[in-house]
Structure 1
Amino acid sequence: MAIVLPFLGLTTVQAAEPPPSVAPLDVAAMPPPGPSPQDYQRYVKNRDWLVVLGKALFWDSAVGSDGQACASCHFHAGADPRTVNQLNPGIAGGDDRFGGIEPASAVGRTAGGRTAGPNLALQPDDFPFHRLRDSRNRNSEILYDTNDVVSSQGVFDGLFMGIRQTVRLRGRKRDFCRAADDTIFTINVLGQQRKVRKVEPRNTPTTINAAYFFRNFWDGRANNVFNGVNPFGRRAFVDPAAGIVTAPSAGSMAIERVQLENASLASQAVGPPNSSFEMACANRTFADIGRKLLGRIPLADQKIAATDSVFGNGSRLGNLVRRTGAGLRLTYLELVKNAFQQRLWGEAGTWAVAPDGAVSASTTGHSQAELNFSLFFGLAIDAYERTLISDQSRFDSGNLSGQEQHGLALFTGRAKCVNCHNGPLFSSAAVPPRQPLELIENMVMGVGGNALYDGGFYNIGVRPVLEDLGVGGKDPWGNPLSFTRQYVDRPADPTGRPDFFQIDFAQPGSPDGIRVAVDGAFKTPSLRNVALTAPYFHNGGERSLTDVVRFYNRGGNRRDLATGDTTGTGPLGQGTTSGSSVVGSNLDPDIQPLGLEEGDIEDLVAFLKALTDDRVACHQAPFDHPELIVSNGSLSLPASGGRARDARLRLLAVGREGYPRAWCDPGTGDLFDRNLIGGMLQRAP
């Protein structure tokens, strides 16, 4: 049953829906949704050049403050296979201590008994993060439990001070950052305390097929509407300076609001570049990034394969690679001019934007192109990621073995996977089946009764809800991320709220007293190429697909109410609903013991492996890319400046043909059952 929320007025409709199903992905018949051509052409002049710009920005290590590219966390199957310095202590829940929290004797340790902390090299016996004496019984004795998260290492802690030119980098501009006092991501190196790279608070989701999601990020904060400056859509318009700068008349500049629907990828793209965990020293802006990059050769120090599908021989725009084999023939500014309308970059002079949104000429300001760099970045990354569509698995071709066919029958039958992982993308958060008008749904809860929730976002009982609210959280202005809470909490007088949310409050409806089940709920990920993207769940707490299926088979990690957790707020409870008198779990009703035998589990995993696209496993076009240096923890060597020295890996440049078969990911669905280092990943000095 869906609550349908047309943008021009709020109505409640009960409708019989067909049972969920899965199907091959036909990109020609179902391309990723995007902005209307009329809206898009206000900004974009040439899509081919936009893709070139987007791929360059995605892979260029000069974008980040410490050599971090977008691809640094998304370089294999759109995700991150590293196992060294990938542990976060549970910062999303306010914890800065590494290691287990249950039982007490495990405090500070991994499940394998090692000291948990920064720069840890994870081992197979460190998983799962919630370990039971009987993995088939969620109420059995807890042997180990931790709120730590496996994610991706990003930047060192620091405070952005400006852009400087350096002789060492042949006059190129770079970020200048002042060291910060990081007390969490610090290790002892030869008797001295040294900082290591910070690790993000949630596991890294894949960018492949992300173009089909109505919202992005685990908590959905990457809004469907791109506002040109940050991930939060229309809600950001409470800030009068939230917009791009254009010239309403000659010699003057003003803020222009951007509202591009079906551009969640662009909303997502503009989040990480200024995140002090992911890619930047604190307080950096997009205008700073523009100042650093616009005069720069893209990928200047990174090798590019001669057969790169976007940059190389035979690409749509011909060979764009310099004769040296590294970098492109054009600067970033030239790419911007080729891709975007002149009104976005063509005004001379430098300008400053005041907090009240006033734009004035300023000798210490930024150029128009620098001020609009967030728009360029978001739409360029959006255009590139729209090319990263995986639709050539054995499931798509209908070439399944008998074991895999039985796994598919279980998937769509008594294993109940299809209830959340449905449609061609194997996700109810994708479009389709998540249509724009079905933003909120009504569901029978796991502990009885009905509740409203955001369609495609579910609480599946991985961790206690109070550790991470997911879509139940808030934006920087204190507004709910959840569409459900926007609906239920709207004011009695709908004119009293600015029209900057996703839904329209024009017709009041009657939500009073309706239970809300959004806390602890996360976006349902696609299962395409899932065998390549271990570890699993928003906390990265399961190392293998087999363990994931065992998790579902026992009915998740939440203890039954009979064990004494009657409020849902205990150590392993899944939280309470807020804004309602109803107390209990937000657990999805399908998370219950399934009764699968070991043979069933093996067959279900075999089917999940059949969702792998060999082009993704081997980095063939459109998943080919330039060279990239990624950090892989820190070395026990002398270091200066308060930072430990990076251990580094070199991801080799590859063209449309992909890597040799021997280097491809075998797709076993196990974080540790692969050997990428020595093939596509080489140890770098």
Structure 2
Amino acid sequence: MPLSLKSVPVPEVPGLLDGSEPIVINEPAAIALGKALFWDVNVGSDGVACASCHFHAGADSRTVNQIAPTGNSADLGSAAFDTPANGLPPGPNHRLARGDFPFVQSTDPLRETALYGFSGTADDVGGSAGTFGGTFVSVELADVAADTCSRSPDAVFHQSAVGTREVTRRNAPTVITAAFNHRNFWDGRANNVFNGSSGWGARDSAAGVWVKNADGSVTKTRLHLVNASLASQALGPPSNTVEMSCAGRTLAGLGRKLLMRRPLEHHAVDATDGVLGALGFSKPGAPQPALDTYYFRLVRRAVNPKYWSATQRGPFGAPPPAAPGARPLAYSQLEANFGMFFGLALQLYESTLVSDDSPFDRSQRDANGIPIDLTPVAVRGMAEFRNTHCNPCHVGPTFSAAAIHTIAEMFQADQNVFRDTGYPFSIAGSAVIRLATAKGSTMVDVGFAATGVSDDTQDAGIAGKDDFGHPLSYVPQYFDFLAGNAAGVLDPQVAQIRACDLGVPLALNTATPNALWFTQREGVISQPQPTDGCRIPSRRYVPTPAAAAAELAKPNSLRFVNGTDGAFKIPTLRNVELTGPYMHDGGMATLEQVIAFYTRGGTHEGASKNIAFVFAQTHLAVDPAMRADLLEFLKSLTDERVRYERAPFDHPELVILEGHGGDAIAAGPGNPPGAAVAATSAASFACVTGTNVPTRAAARAVTMSARFRQSSHR
């Protein structure tokens, strides 16, 4: 039964706010720091804030210059924009229209594509417009938002000889309620463990933070904060050359740019802002830009002094010289640790963005757990949500299996709480399961699924690699763990995976041989982890290291099958009415199109498609009333505070960067970063009060869904 999020705590990060020497000593100051950094355009190299891609219900509803050709395909060298539905020549500055969606169109949207075929295909994806790119030279220490960079038109994102903003290869997911996710980003690369200086957790051997010792010296020390994937995620975009940064800018360099500035110096802040109002210059009814402080002061208020109070320079490195012969000032400890401050501040701010006040959450429940205050249509839709196998993946109070820690705690308290989902949950929070996919009995990361949105060759998802060439998925690591190959285990969570919680057994202590699991013939032993609360105690066995190693050596193993091809993080359904476009490729504009997608059982038949839950729903195809009921239930998950941007979802002013003057063929130069790049079209996204009333926000909140809705489900 779907569950309310009210009173469900965000997973704790041990050592962040507690213990004998917590890192953050003033949580409200850290939250204020995080909110300011999230909305500040100074964070980007050319006017892009974190919020630029997450301003609309935590997601991105822009419609101009939002297309990335070939998406995340490895074949970026031949990238070319698909011809849009209007038949005009393609280009980077295209304005999306109703006819463009869905990007891949089935001949019969409600029937299996394998039988009825396609009426239109495309390999473009809907992402988020980011930076102009370029090579970093230096930061500006005051006033100017843009960094000094050497810029020229990108090979793909340009109009004639004028560069346009580049576009990310995936759709921007909502940040609201993301604090519950075990890992973040669509491919899970934002590690659950925060190391203080990158998003890669324990995988990054060079990671660490500088700590001041009692004698005044400093030591670079490893940091290991669990349940901190939002901090890991936060460090990606500010250094990403498509999203926010010129190539070569470091987090320490970003610290140098920001620390002596007033937060939000280019943004009006309402006096009633729930976090920032008391820190600004604004009076009621008269918003003013900037906060009455500096970033370095917020850091000092928020963070343990041992991470910023060293007086020496030198051990922390220095920025590259801006000109031949120049001798740049070495970094301070405050600057060197800026990545840690940035990540943890955003983690704490985004942890306040919990959407738990939808009609679904507010409703009373009857003895069977049915929310009786919902409309009869929505109640029928909830039943259909379960009947059509939505709930095994969109499960728990966040409506996502990616909330591993929260689901494990709820399951530990009541092992019947998820009895109707058919999903093998674990009180230990095991991060891998074994279930049926198109490959057979496969291992899949919990919270990720291949549903047939795109072809496997277009985007590997969690089957991809990290920056060091290692697999993002826990699955191949678990195989190495069982085979005794310690070098192949990169993430500490892998050692906690319990065989007794996998669902389909991996090994049984029986003499009867079986091709799909290990038996006494190959050699089995009891799992090394505790067996308390095992779902099925008889499945607590794993292969011996020798048996596992022998199985790994087989070219066509049936026991060790990796089912992560084209698998992506399962998104929350909270506020899904507001967060279009949908899917990792941004290829569906309306919830009607999403429902049609699942009605036909997905679009593509990938190698690891989750056939246990994603298959043609023929009853939905022939009954539009059922589809309407399901849509009504999904809308009951909308929190009106999110729709109308009320606290904690209020915000400072933001200038939205949406495309360039001209069209998909031509644009004129004139952007302040340089003559080689196009002038950006911009619109003000005004600051709002903490008690915002239903005005313009209502119209904006449904822009994507309402603008592109059509009865044909195209």
Note the 1:18-57 alignment, pairs <5 A: 21-27=1-7, 29-36=8-15, 37-38=17-18, 41-57=21-37
Q: Is the 8 A contact 1:460 1:521 kept in 2?
A: yes
Counterpart secondary structure, 1:673: helix
Q: 354, 377, 391: which is aligned to 1:403?
A: 377
Counterpart Cα distance in 2 of 1:217 and 1:87? 19
- How far 1:610 sits from its partner (Å)? 1.1
Residue by residue, what CA displacement relative to the aligned partner does 1:233-292 show, whole Å, maximum 9, x if unpaired?
Answer: 11112x2xx111123353532211110011111111111111101110011101001000
Counterpart secondary structure, 1:417: coil
| Paired residue type of 1:542 | M
- Match in the other structure for 1:485: 476
Counterpart Cα distance in 1 of 2:264 and 2:428? 37
Q: Is the 8 A contact 1:321 1:329 kept in 2?
A: yes
The change in CA–CA distance for 1:496 and 1:618 in structure 2 (over 3 A counts) is closer
Is 1:536 aligned to residue 613 of structure 2?
A: no
Q: 250, 273, 281: which is aligned to 2:215?
A: 250
Is 1:556 aligned to residue 556 of structure 2?
A: no
- Match in the other structure for 1:274: 239
Counterpart Cα distance in 1 of 2:106 and 2:145? 52
The change in CA–CA distance for 1:496 and 1:648 in structure 2 (over 3 A counts) is closer
Counterpart Cα distance in 2 of 1:223 and 1:40? 25
- How far 1:232 sits from its partner (Å)? 1.0
Q: 340, 344, 348: which is aligned to 2:307?
A: 344
| TM-score (structure 2 length as normaliser) | 0.80
- How far 1:33 sits from its partner (Å)? 3.6
The change in CA–CA distance for 1:652 and 1:478 in structure 2 (over 3 A counts) is same
Residue by residue, what CA displacement relative to the aligned partner does 1:210-245 show, whole Å, maximum 9, x if unpaired?
Answer: 0111111111111111100111111112x2xx1111
- How far 1:382 sits from its partner (Å)? 0.5
| Paired residue type of 1:304 | V
| TM-score (structure 1 length as normaliser) | 0.83
Counterpart Cα distance in 2 of 1:502 and 1:283? 32
Is 1:155 aligned to residue 178 of structure 2?
A: no
Q: 50, 62, 69: which is aligned to 1:82?
A: 62
Q: Is the 8 A contact 2:231 2:344 kept in 1?
A: yes
- Match in the other structure for 2:97: 123
Is 1:419 aligned to residue 419 of structure 2?
A: no
- Match in the other structure for 1:321: 281
Counterpart Cα distance in 2 of 1:389 and 1:545? 22
The change in CA–CA distance for 1:529 and 1:546 in structure 2 (over 3 A counts) is same
Q: Is the 8 A contact 1:350 1:363 kept in 2?
A: no
- Match in the other structure for 1:359: none
- Match in the other structure for 1:187: 159
Counterpart secondary structure, 2:443: strand
Counterpart Cα distance in 2 of 1:127 and 1:600? 23
| Paired residue type of 2:182 | F
Residue by residue, what CA displacement relative to the aligned partner does 1:188-230 show, whole Å, maximum 9, x if unpaired?
Answer: 3xxxx21110000100000000011111111111111110011
| Paired residue type of 2:617 | L
Q: Is the 8 A contact 2:98 2:708 kept in 1?
A: no
- Match in the other structure for 1:264: 229
- Match in the other structure for 1:383: 348
- Match in the other structure for 2:167: 199
Counterpart Cα distance in 2 of 1:496 and 1:144? 46
Counterpart Cα distance in 2 of 1:286 and 1:40? 28
Counterpart Cα distance in 2 of 1:478 and 1:99? 27
Is 1:644 aligned to residue 623 of structure 2?
A: no
| Paired residue type of 1:655 | T
Is 1:504 aligned to residue 534 of structure 2?
A: no
- Match in the other structure for 1:625: 651
The change in CA–CA distance for 1:409 and 1:498 in structure 2 (over 3 A counts) is closer
The change in CA–CA distance for 1:646 and 1:69 in structure 2 (over 3 A counts) is same
The change in CA–CA distance for 1:649 and 1:664 in structure 2 (over 3 A counts) is same
- How far 1:500 sits from its partner (Å)? 5.2
Q: Is the 8 A contact 1:173 1:292 kept in 2?
A: no
The change in CA–CA distance for 1:652 and 1:599 in structure 2 (over 3 A counts) is same
| Paired residue type of 2:301 | N
Q: Is the 8 A contact 2:212 2:310 kept in 1?
A: yes
- Match in the other structure for 2:296: 333
Q: Is the 8 A contact 1:612 1:667 kept in 2?
A: no
- How far 1:151 sits from its partner (Å)? 1.2
The change in CA–CA distance for 1:131 and 1:389 in structure 2 (over 3 A counts) is same
- How far 1:370 sits from its partner (Å)? 0.3
Counterpart Cα distance in 2 of 1:482 and 1:236? 16
- How far 1:163 sits from its partner (Å)? 1.8
| Paired residue type of 1:305 | D
Q: Is the 8 A contact 2:97 2:708 kept in 1?
A: no
The change in CA–CA distance for 1:265 and 1:665 in structure 2 (over 3 A counts) is farther
Structure 1 residue runs of 4 or more that deviate by more than 6 Å after TM superposition: none
Counterpart secondary structure, 1:664: helix
Counterpart Cα distance in 2 of 1:491 and 1:160? 45
Q: Is the 8 A contact 1:234 1:502 kept in 2?
A: no
Q: Is the 8 A contact 1:491 1:497 kept in 2?
A: no
- How far 1:658 sits from its partner (Å)? 1.5
Q: Is the 8 A contact 2:57 2:578 kept in 1?
A: yes
Structure 2: tracts of 5 or more residues without a match: 319-326, 364-372, 409-426, 497-526, 529-541, 552-556, 710-714
Residue by residue, what CA displacement relative to the aligned partner does 1:329-384 show, whole Å, maximum 9, x if unpaired?
Answer: 110000000000111110112224479xxxxxx97420100000000000000110
The change in CA–CA distance for 1:520 and 1:500 in structure 2 (over 3 A counts) is closer
| Paired residue type of 1:439 | A
Q: 588, 591, 595: which is aligned to 1:545?
A: 591
Counterpart Cα distance in 2 of 1:243 and 1:74? 29
Is 1:594 aligned to residue 617 of structure 2?
A: yes
The change in CA–CA distance for 1:403 and 1:98 in structure 2 (over 3 A counts) is farther
The change in CA–CA distance for 1:94 and 1:180 in structure 2 (over 3 A counts) is farther
Is 1:177 aligned to residue 200 of structure 2?
A: no
- How far 1:90 sits from its partner (Å)? 2.2
Counterpart Cα distance in 2 of 1:66 and 1:363? 22
Counterpart Cα distance in 2 of 1:128 and 1:436? 39
- Match in the other structure for 1:457: 448
- How far 1:519 sits from its partner (Å)? 1.6
Residue by residue, what CA displacement relative to the aligned partner does 1:475-527 show, whole Å, maximum 9, x if unpaired?
Answer: 11111111111111348444555765432399584553311101210010000
Note the 1:72-151 alignment, pairs <5 A: 72-96=52-76, 108-137=82-111, 138-139=113-114, 140-151=116-127
The change in CA–CA distance for 1:118 and 1:87 in structure 2 (over 3 A counts) is same
Counterpart secondary structure, 1:44: coil
Counterpart Cα distance in 2 of 1:474 and 1:588? 25
Counterpart secondary structure, 1:532: coil
Counterpart secondary structure, 1:632: strand
Q: CA RMSD in A?
A: 2.5
Counterpart Cα distance in 2 of 1:157 and 1:61? 16
